[in-house]
């Protein structure tokens, strides 16, 4: 009896030790890199008629230490069809120039990215919400020998869901020269034949303020954390971002 109890206790101790060692090995296998960046962006949505408009946005992002080097430059354009005043469909194209942060320091890596999106707004007296689903087809130029571009492109799909909430901080809600609190989260998911380890791509969580300059222009500033799983699967990047966005909305319809 005592021998059986002792054997069971030894088995439990061995199993517990195995679990602890496995957990330690998994923790060690996961490598997380921390960087600090500055993201500056300009957004324009111009409406020409009751049904049609255009979308334009441009971005410049630093590489590390907020002001050291560049990681990406982006220009994105699209044609928008208005289902209603608060719901719209957009199809477009984006060109992204990557300046890889690790091994490929002397390479400018181009990416072509067609995209399709449905976006809708929900408005309350003390709250404004915006959501979108965006599908992107990513054609990123291949890299050879860590220091030169290769022929051809890697391809995958990316699905993005964006949730944006805005809460006024003054009695003059959402009026010119007032501030609003902004909370924003966006999830990115990869899929396609070339995606093996990182179906989850990244999560972007932002909290900050929106300054309503006038009826058309808004300046948004605050802090964002980007948590990204890299292609290797066990490597992650946590980016602390100072985000500065300018929004310019125009309505050219005849009143």
pLDDT confidence of residue 29: 55
CB 29 within 8 A of CB 232: no
Q: Which three-class secondary structure state does DSSP give residue 27?
A: helix
For residue 88, what are the CA distances in angstroms to 1, 43, 77, 82, 214? 74, 16, 15, 4, 23
* pLDDT classification of 195: cutoffs 50, 70, 90: confident
Q: What is the pTM of this model?
A: 0.85
Mean residue pLDDT of the chain comes to: 88
* pLDDT classification of 236: cutoffs 50, 70, 90: very high
Using one digit for the tens of pLDDT, what is the confidence trace for 18-43?
Answer: 544 444 444 445 788 999 999 999 99
For residue 163, what are the CA distances in angstroms to 118, 122, 138, 185? 12, 11, 22, 5
Report the pLDDT averaged over residues 215-228.
96
Using one digit for the tens of pLDDT, what is the confidence trace for 139-183?
Answer: 999 988 767 889 999 999 999 999 999 999 999 999 999 999 999
Report the pLDDT averaged over residues 172-201.
93
Report the pLDDT averaged over residues 78-94.
98
Architecture of domain 36-251 in this structure: Beta Barrel (2.40)
pLDDT confidence of residue 4: 44
Residue that wins the pLDDT comparison between 231 and 36: 36
pLDDT confidence of residue 146: 64
**Domain spans of the chain, in order of start:** 36-251
């Amino acid at each position: 009896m005592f021998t059986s109890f002792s054997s069971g206790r030894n088995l439990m101790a061995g199993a517990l030790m195995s679990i602890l060692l496995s957990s330690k090995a998994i923790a060690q296998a996961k490598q997380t890199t921390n960087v600090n960046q500055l993201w500056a962006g300009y957004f324009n949505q111009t409406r020409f008629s009751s049904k049609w408009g255009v979308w334009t946005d441009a971005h410049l992002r630093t590489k590390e230490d907020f002001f050291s080097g560049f990681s990406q430059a982006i220009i994105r354009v699209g044609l928008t069809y208005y289902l209603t005043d608060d719901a719209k469909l957009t199809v477009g194209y984006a060109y992204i120039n990557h300046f890889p942060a690790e091994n490929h320091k002397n390479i400018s890596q181009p990416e072509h990215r067609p995209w399709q999106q449905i976006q809708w707004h929900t408005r309350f007296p003390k709250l404004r919400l915006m959501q979108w689903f965006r599908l992107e087809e990513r054609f990123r130029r291949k890299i050879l020998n860590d220091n030169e571009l290769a022929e051809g492109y890697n391809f995958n799909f990316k699905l993005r869901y964006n949730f944006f909430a805005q809460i006024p901080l003054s009695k003059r809600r959402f009026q010119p020269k007032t501030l609003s609190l902004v909370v924003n989260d966006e999830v990115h998911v990869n899929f396609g034949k070339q995606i093996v380890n990182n179906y989850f791509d990244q999560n972007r969580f932002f909290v900050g303020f929106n300054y309503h300059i006038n009826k058309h222009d808004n300046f948004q500033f605050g802090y964002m954390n980007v948590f990204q799983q890299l292609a290797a699967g066990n490597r992650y990047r946590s980016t602390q971002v100072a985000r500065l966005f300018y929004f310019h909305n125009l309505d050219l319809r005849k009143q």
